[in-house]
Chain A
Amino acid sequence: MKVTIVDYNSGNISSVINSFEEVAKDKVNIEVTSDLEKIKTSDKLVLPGQGSFKSCVDALNKIDGLTETLNEFAINNKKPLLGICVGLQMFADVGYEETETNGLGWISGKVSKIDNQNGKFKLPHIGWNQINIVKKSKIFQNIENNSHMYFVHSYEFVPNDESVIVATTDYCSNIVCSVEKENIFGTQFHPEKSDKIGLKIIDNFINL
């Protein structure tokens, strides 16, 4: 099996690579690339993302044919894909960070700034927060409800269809922190930085 981490200059992805390699050991082949052919022949994709929604979408679009290849992989061929942080946010139709920017449109909804109640809550939402699992998901297998995950973000994904929500976290309000739609999975938190419990989520994804 080959799991590919899509390297599209979306910021620092070393930790994502390290965590996947740690979990995969020698059982699974982890590839890090933006090569379209290699992406197409992968069994699973990981779409990381750091920085702003706009900078990530711009970086995707900079690589000729990448968006189309991702569409083909996730939408047409329905192969498993995991989006992390802004990687998840880009599933949305539109994001409002910096300026209004279209996303991949895989899961209908928008990405907007967390309402921190006029400064009552600090932003970014940084640190360990508990997740409330609202729906069974394969990537949360053997993950206890209320587990702690590591978050760093100021924007949240608001899906139109609530049935895609797998988990939420409480910060200012209930923030969507994991979604699943058929073969598409996403976490707003960083499993690669969430210690053993985060690595378990990565393991679950690899073992799908």
Chain B
Amino acid sequence: MLKNRIIPCLDVKNGRVVKGINFVDLKDAGDPVEQAKIYSDGGADEICFLDITASNENRDTIYDVVKRTSKKCFVPLTVGGGIRSIEDINKLLNCGADKVSINTAAVKNSKVVLDSSKKFGSQCIVVAIDAKKKGDKWEVFTHGGRNNSGIDALEYAKKMEENGAGELLVTSMDRDGTQIGYDVELMNKIASKVNIPLIASGGVGNLDHLVDGIKLGNASAVLAASIFHYGKHSVKEAKEYLDSKGIPVRI
């Protein structure tokens, strides 16, 4: 039976982890490679890096991080943030990323998704959708949630599937950072609309939220950042909890 996945996400800025696990025995708590290794040793089904480096001159730092991580972690590694072109994707994959997640660039020009999935295969193209509720609809936001594209999130999700996306990473901008749980209504609406797997993101504050993301949101995988930081919960605890709620996980 296929298992639901738990994906811890690390925000990386200028090659350093912004938040993270604050374990005393870490040699370098800011090193994304060490943190990723802790997650994968703890049973993370995949690892996700979100590069939030703002300045262009420091953008190359992520390549070094990916290169070093992929030599130590042998679970799938997804990298997102600031990906603009086929060339950016190519570079990340060559450094050892298994998938890339494309956000703003896909909204600006959906051909990026079409071309990259043809060139590299759908299996490595994740389209990240940042959505915000407006009335009874959701709209797609870009640039880390700053700009409203006005595009309907459900239609956009369908279009990205048709363009060759292998998975959708859906983040509710209303919930992101709130720790009050995923927008399961949004997740469920998109998951029912498309045939590709959905990764739920944004708003996790406790382990029950992960359960809701899968049971109510119909997500194939759940992504979370802060609940795994500072040792609040380990990936192992999360999996055991999901297992106790009858959700199939890899233990």
A residues contacting B by CB (< 8 A) are: 11-12, 14-15, 18-19, 21-22, 50-52, 55, 116, 119, 122-130, 148, 150-154, 170-171, 192-196, 198-199
- Min CB distance B26 to A, Å, is 21
B residues contacting A by CB (< 8 A) are: 1-5, 40, 45, 70-71, 74-76, 93-98, 120-124, 166-167, 195-197, 220-221, 250
A14-B95, A128-B250, A195-B75 known; A50+B1 contact, CB < 8 A: no
| Bound form: Cα–Cα A199–B72 in Å | 12
A-B contact count (CB 8 A): 96
Say what secondary structure dominates the interface of chain B.
loop
Contact of A192 with B121 in the complex, beta carbons under 8 Å:
no
Contact of A128 with B167 in the complex, beta carbons under 8 Å:
no
- Min CB distance B204 to A, Å, is 19
17 residue pairs of the A-B complex, CB under 8 angstroms, read A11-B124, A12-B94, A12-B97, A12-B98, A14-B70, A50-B121, A51-B121, A116-B195, A125-B2, A126-B123, A127-B2, A128-B2, A129-B3, A151-B2, A152-B166, A170-B1, A192-B74
Contact of B98 with A193 in the complex, beta carbons under 8 Å:
yes
| Bound form: Cα–Cα A55–B118 in Å | 9
| Bound form: Cα–Cα A200–B250 in Å | 18
Contact of A128 (CB < 8 Å), options: B3, B70, B120, B195: B3
Contact of B2 with A152 in the complex, beta carbons under 8 Å:
no
Q: A125 to chain B: which residues have CB within 8 Å?
A: 2
Say what secondary structure dominates the interface of chain A.
mixed
A123-B195, A193-B76 known; A128+B45 contact, CB < 8 A: yes
Most chain A beta-carbon neighbours within 10 Å: one of B98, B121, B166: B121
| Bound form: Cα–Cα A16–B1 in Å | 25
- Min CB distance A147 to B, Å, is 10
Which residue of chain B lies nearest to A170 when distances are taken between CB atoms in the complex? B1
Contact of A15 with B98 in the complex, beta carbons under 8 Å:
yes
| Bound form: Cα–Cα A94–B221 in Å | 33
Contact of A126 (CB < 8 Å), options: B70, B74, B75, B220: B220
